[in-house]
Amino acid sequence: MSPEGAPTPLRVGTRGSKLATTQSQQVADLLAAHGVPAQLSIVTTTGDLISGPLAQMGGTGVFAAALRQELLTGGVDLAVHSLKDLPTQDAFDGALALAHPPREDPRDALVARDGLTLEQLPAGAVIGTGSPRRAAQIRALRPDCAIADVRGNVGTRLSRVRGLEHHGVTDIGVGRETRGDLDAVVLAASGLARLGLSAVVTDFLDPHRVLPAAGQGCLAVEYRTEDTAPEVLTALRALEDSATRVAVRAERALLLRLEAGCAAPVGAYAQLETDEAGAPVLVLEAVVADPRESGLQSSEGHSSGKQGPEILRETARTPLPAGFPGVDAATETPGARSGEVSGRVPGPEPLEQAERAAARLGTELAETLLGRGADRYTGAEAGRA
The residues binding ligand PBG (CB under 6 A) are 60, 82, 84-85, 187-188, 190-191, 216-217
Nearer to ligand PBG, 190 or 244 (CB): 190
Among the listed residues 11, 15, 68, 84, the single catalytic one is 84
Number of neighbouring beta carbons within 10 Å of residue 227: 8
Nearer to ligand PBG, 31 or 192 (CB): 192
Sequence-separated (6 or more) residues with CB below 8 Å from residue 189:
105, 106, 107, 108, 109, 198, 201, 204, 217
Residue 161 is classified by DSSP as B
Residue 113 is classified by DSSP as G
Annotation marks residue 84 as catalytic: yes
Among the listed residues 15, 68, 145, 262, the single catalytic one is 262
Contact call for residues 109 and 265 (beta carbons, < 8 A): no
Nearer to ligand PBG, 1 or 50 (CB): 50
* Minimal distance, residue 153 CB to ligand PBG, in Å: 8
* Minimal distance, residue 221 CB to ligand PBG, in Å: 13
Nearer to ligand PBG, 22 or 368 (CB): 22
Among the listed residues 68, 107, 134, 245, the single catalytic one is 134
Nearer to ligand PBG, 193 or 322 (CB): 193
Contact call for residues 246 and 100 (beta carbons, < 8 A): no
Annotation marks residue 85 as catalytic: yes
Q: Is the dihedral of CA 66, 69, 73, 77 positive or negative?
A: positive
Output the CA–CA distances (angstroms, integers) from residue 54 to 49, 152, 156, 176, 299, in the order listed: 11, 9, 15, 22, 19
Element holding 115 (H helix, E strand)? none
* Minimal distance, residue 204 CB to ligand PBG, in Å: 13
> What SS3 state is found at 16?
coil
* Minimal distance, residue 222 CB to ligand PBG, in Å: 15
Sequence-separated (6 or more) residues with CB below 8 Å from residue 201:
109, 110, 111, 189, 192
Among the listed residues 85, 108, 149, 290, the single catalytic one is 85
Among the listed residues 151, 162, 356, 384, the single catalytic one is 151
Among the listed residues 133, 139, 257, 337, the single catalytic one is 133
Annotation marks residue 262 as catalytic: yes
What dihedral angle (degrees, nearest 10) is formed by the CA atoms of 158, 162, 166, 172? 50
* Minimal distance, residue 186 CB to ligand PBG, in Å: 8
Helix, strand and coil percent figures for the chain, each rounded to 5: 35, 20, 50
First to last CA, the chain: 48
* Minimal distance, residue 130 CB to ligand PBG, in Å: 8
Report which of 170, 171, 222 is spatially closest to residue 63, judged by C-alpha positions: 222
Nearer to ligand PBG, 7 or 102 (CB): 102
Annotation marks residue 194 as catalytic: no
Residues taking part in catalysis: 84-85, 133-134, 151, 157, 262
